[in-house]
Amino acid sequence: MRTGERRPTLADVAAQAGVSTALASIVMRDAPGASEATRRRVLEVADRLGYHPDSRARLLRSGRSRLLGVVFGVQHAFHGDLVTGLYEAAEKLRYELALSAVTPRRDERTAIGGLLQDRCEALLILGPQSPTSELATLASRMPVVALGRDVRHRAVDVVRNADCEGLHQAVDHLVSLGHRRIVHIDGGRTPGTAERRRGYRDAMRHHGLDAEIRVVPGGPTGEDGATATAPLLTDPPTAITVFNDLAATGVLDALRRAGLSVPGDVSVVGYDDSRLARLTYLDLTTIAQDTAAMTTLAITRAVDRIEGETVTPRELVIPPHLVIRGTTGAHLAEKPA
Amino acid sequence: MRTGERRPTLADVAAQAGVSTALASIVMRDAPGASEATRRRVLEVADRLGYHPDSRARLLRSGRSRLLGVVFGVQHAFHGDLVTGLYEAAEKLRYELALSAVTPRRDERTAIGGLLQDRCEALLILGPQSPTSELATLASRMPVVALGRDVRHRAVDVVRNADCEGLHQAVDHLVSLGHRRIVHIDGGRTPGTAERRRGYRDAMRHHGLDAEIRVVPGGPTGEDGATATAPLLTDPPTAITVFNDLAATGVLDALRRAGLSVPGDVSVVGYDDSRLARLTYLDLTTIAQDTAAMTTLAITRAVDRIEGETVTPRELVIPPHLVIRGTTGAHLAEKPA
DNA sequence: GTGAAAGCGCTAACAT
DNA sequence: ATGTTAGCGCTTTCAC
């Protein structure tokens, strides 16, 4: 029974194995300096006792925590992908992750506070929302890496997606399919909007389509997408690039309700390659962020900072890539003039 | 500059405030036994130094961690809702949460191992997948609460949704709208399938619709839903209850492709009230699990176990509720006989 | 290869 | 109200 039992400590293991705690410690840490026989004996006892080293005590003594704090939004599907990559990258460098979630009822400041108490050696913040000044204060005490969102302060490292290039790729793809009348529905006041819009404009110009440039104010939600689509229905373009996948679903819905077929009449490109985009019945062509690269770089950056390396540049901008699915198709014939 | 700086310790704060560490500790813990003046002075210094108590040392010394370990699937949107509730419930009881994620590349065993090292006093596992035997071993060492999935072992507490009742509600709703030909597409080998199927059958019998009972083998994904719908299209029922929301989206898609309107020709009910169901363009009638109740009870249960209370029953089954949206409507006329 | 002893930052028990 | 002392479980010298 559990009652009355105490968790076994290293001293218990050492005693039962007939060695000093120091030696037992060496074995448990897999450090050099113990004979094969001792090693086996100690491990056997530890296993029998169900011993797990107390990371608190261990880290307290060794002065370091080898702990990287991660602040993420528990509602953001995309953050899930990032966390997956972060675990993997951290493990390779023998660091651990301490997760702290932002929820509708738990703000970023609270989430960060928890991690500070855990003595993380660096902070990785996914889509930081705190004012730059607060992040700067933090960054004066420990390395801070912002993931997926720009933070303009010289003490904060940033790893983010090349939004601009993403929209360039979307437009390139559509142009290669024969489209010319390509509209962009932007993200309203959502972070990243400006850069994606700029990517669209640049790309259109690059293809000599200056005259066709048309940006419609939108937003990040499905309804934003649907609303923004309405005014386009009287004289629809042949293709639409949308700020993100969620808004793109609204666009798709609005188009289909209006009797237009996708991609027959109109092609649509989203952004993020979220779970949504992959749903069979949506099958949305989209721009995927390179989460593997982003997470690896973020962890590497944090660890480099911890270990005092000088690193440049402060801002790492990772190119995304196009994922072609079923919502884009060739624009075969121009309307007869 | 950060280099060369050391994090301030309680001793630093105490020294600068001109008091002993014990007194400073009292202030930081907000414990009784310090004068108002001292309190103010210490807090002021702590703030100026950017002092954060070291939870490791604190907990090491006090022998308890007041830490509840939470294992969750980072990909599961529903787990996000649960984590939100867990944070809130834990805070009320002055416990903290240690999050450990299961990802495509990090299995449940690894996730649990991390928490054991953190000296959590109990484990809350969302949708546990480990074999019962492993959970039982764990439970012999510390309180273990399984959330959202049944675990048949006397040492493991379970807090879960009343799947059976959920489908009862779905059928009741459809019957009240005049439906009689109601099909259930089940979840294949997904946990919970059997109970939801049973709920459907019971409810149909309860309404004297024994002859109409029809269960189609399905699964948890959108494609499963679409595939399961195909054989129904030759002679479609007037309503379909689907194992979960994701599969329901596949059903919706298959119906619409076949030229059937929802809810005009066929009504559809999902399960989970996931983010998906709430999307404007899906607007899916569904069964919502009561996450607030589930999380509160799970935390309460874990804490009761920690504090040695005797608690019954081992298994807490929480009734869900119907959320009526746009995919269900009245069945107006039976086909002329 | 192994053991003895000190101490990480903090809290608790006991002084004063 | 405040200070002193001991020690949580571990790692780290530094002996042997």
The answer on B281 and B181 residing in a single domain is yes
With respect to residue B223, please indicate whether it lies within any of the assigned structural domains.
yes
Written as six digits, the tokens of A115 are 């991690």
The answer on A173 and A157 residing in a single domain is no
- Quick one: pLDDT band at residue B327, thresholds 50, 70, 90? very high
With respect to residue B136, please indicate whether it lies within any of the assigned structural domains.
yes
Q: Which residue has the tokens 């006090």?
A: B62
Window 10-69 of chain A: CB closer than 7 A to strand C: 18-23, 26, 32-35, 37-38, 57, 60-61, 63
- Quick one: pLDDT band at residue A5, thresholds 50, 70, 90? low
Cβ contacts of B52 on chain A, cutoff 8 Å? 113, 116-117
Query: How many C-beta atoms lie closer than 10 Å to residue B307's C-beta?
Result: 10
The answer on B154 and B144 residing in a single domain is yes
Nearest to B77 among A77, A88, A279 (CB): A77
SS3 B96: strand
Q: What is the pLDDT of residue B165?
A: 97
With respect to residue B329, please indicate whether it lies within any of the assigned structural domains.
no
Residue of B nearest to A76 (CA): B77
The answer on B272 and B183 residing in a single domain is yes
Domain that holds residue A311: 66-161+291-318
- Asked whether residue A176's C-beta has any atom of DNA/RNA strand D within 7 A, the reply is no
Whole-angstrom distance, CA of residue A6 vs CA of residue A221: 52
Go through chain B and tell me how many residues it has. 337
Whole-angstrom distance, CA of residue B52 vs CA of residue A282: 48
Query: How many C-beta atoms lie closer than 10 Å to residue A204's C-beta?
Result: 24
The answer on B274 and B238 residing in a single domain is yes
The answer on A170 and A283 residing in a single domain is yes
Element (H, E) at B130: none
Residue of A nearest to B249 (CA): A281
With respect to residue B60, please indicate whether it lies within any of the assigned structural domains.
no
- Whether the CB-CB separation of B291 and B307 falls below 8 Å is answered with no
Tell me the β-bridge partners of A106. A103
- Torsion region of A259: left, alpha or beta (phi above 0 gives left; psi -120 to 50 gives alpha): left
- Whether the CB-CB separation of A228 and A187 falls below 8 Å is answered with no
Window 25-84 of chain B: CB closer than 7 A to strand C: 25, 28-29, 31, 53-54, 57-58, 60-62
**What are the backbone angles phi and psi of residue A293, rounded to the nearest 5°?**
-65, -45
Whole-angstrom distance, CA of residue A214 vs CA of residue A174: 15
Q: What is the pLDDT of residue B281?
A: 78
With respect to residue A295, please indicate whether it lies within any of the assigned structural domains.
yes
The answer on B269 and B174 residing in a single domain is yes
The total domain count for chain A is 3
For chain B, what is the mean pLDDT? 92
With respect to residue A61, please indicate whether it lies within any of the assigned structural domains.
no
CATH number reported for the structural domain that contains residue B49 in this entry: 1.10.260.40
Q: What is the pLDDT of residue B337?
A: 41
Whole-angstrom distance, CA of residue A192 vs CA of residue A175: 23
Q: What is the pLDDT of residue B242?
A: 98
Q: Which of B289, B307, B330 is the last residue of a domain?
A: B289
pTM, whole model, 2 decimals? 0.89
Inter-helix orientation angle A21-28/A10-17, to 10°: 110
Whole-angstrom distance, CA of residue A236 vs CA of residue A174: 15
How do beta strands B239-242 and B182-185 pair?
parallel
Cβ contacts of B118 on chain A, cutoff 8 Å? 55-56
Written as six digits, the tokens of B280 are 């404007």
How far, in Å, are A1, A117, B12, B247 from residue B6 at the CA level?
44, 15, 10, 54
The answer on B44 and B80 residing in a single domain is no
Written as six digits, the tokens of B85 are 């509730």
What is the per-residue pLDDT across A158-176, written as a single tens digit (0 to 9) for each?
A: 999 999 999 999 999 999 9
Q: Is residue A4 predicted with pLDDT exceeding 70? A: no
Query: For residues A140 and A332, which has the higher predicted lDDT (pLDDT)?
Result: A140
The answer on B153 and B300 residing in a single domain is yes
The answer on A156 and A80 residing in a single domain is yes
With respect to residue B336, please indicate whether it lies within any of the assigned structural domains.
no
Q: What is the pLDDT of residue B1?
A: 36
SS3 B73: strand
CATH number reported for the structural domain that contains residue A257 in this entry: 3.40.50.2300
Tell me the β-bridge partners of B214. B183
Strand segments, DSSP code E, in chain B are 67-73, 96-102, 122-126, 144-147, 156-161, 182-185, 214-216, 239-242, 267-269, 286-288, 315-318, 321-323
Written as six digits, the tokens of B118 are 């953190």
Percentage of chain A with pLDDT > 70?
97
Mean pLDDT, to the nearest integer, of B297-314?
92
Inter-chain CB proximity B103 and A84 less than 8 Å: yes
Amino acid at A110: T
Helix/strand/coil (H, E, C) string of chain A? CCCCCCCCCHHHHHHHHCCCHHHHHHHHCCCCCCCHHHHHHHHHHHHHHCCCCCHHHHHHHHCCCCEEEEEEECCCHHHHHHHHHHHHHHHHCCCEEEEEEEECCECHHHHHHHHHHCCCCEEEEECCCCCHHHHHHHHCCCCEEEECCCCCCCCEEEEEECHHHHHHHHHHHHHHCCCCCEEEECCCCCCCHHHHHHHHHHHHHHCCCHHHCEEECCCCCHHHHHHHHHHHCCCCCCEEEECCHHHHHHHHHHHHHCCCCCCCCCEEECCECCHHHHCCCCCCEEEECCHHHHHHHHHHHHHHHHCCCCCCCCEEEECCEEECCCCCCCCCCCCCC
Whole-angstrom distance, CA of residue A124 vs CA of residue A129: 13
Whole-angstrom distance, CA of residue B269 vs CA of residue B245: 8
Written as six digits, the tokens of A14 are 């050492």
B331 DSSP 8-state letter: -
- Whether the CB-CB separation of B86 and B76 falls below 8 Å is answered with no
Residue of B nearest to A96 (CA): B114
The answer on A284 and A168 residing in a single domain is yes
Cβ contacts of A249 on chain B, cutoff 8 Å? 279, 281
Whole-angstrom distance, CA of residue A132 vs CA of residue A148: 15
What is the per-residue pLDDT across A245-297, written as a single tens digit (0 to 9) for each?
A: 999 999 998 998 899 999 999 999 999 998 888 887 789 999 999 999 999 99
Mean pLDDT, to the nearest integer, of B208-227?
95
With respect to residue B61, please indicate whether it lies within any of the assigned structural domains.
no
The answer on B268 and B219 residing in a single domain is yes
Calculated CA dihedral for residues B60, B62, B66, B69, nearest 10 degrees: 20
Query: For residues B282 and B184, which has the higher predicted lDDT (pLDDT)?
Result: B184
What is the per-residue pLDDT across B41-78, written as a single tens digit (0 to 9) for each?
A: 999 999 999 999 998 898 888 888 889 999 999 988 88
- Quick one: pLDDT band at residue A1, thresholds 50, 70, 90? very low
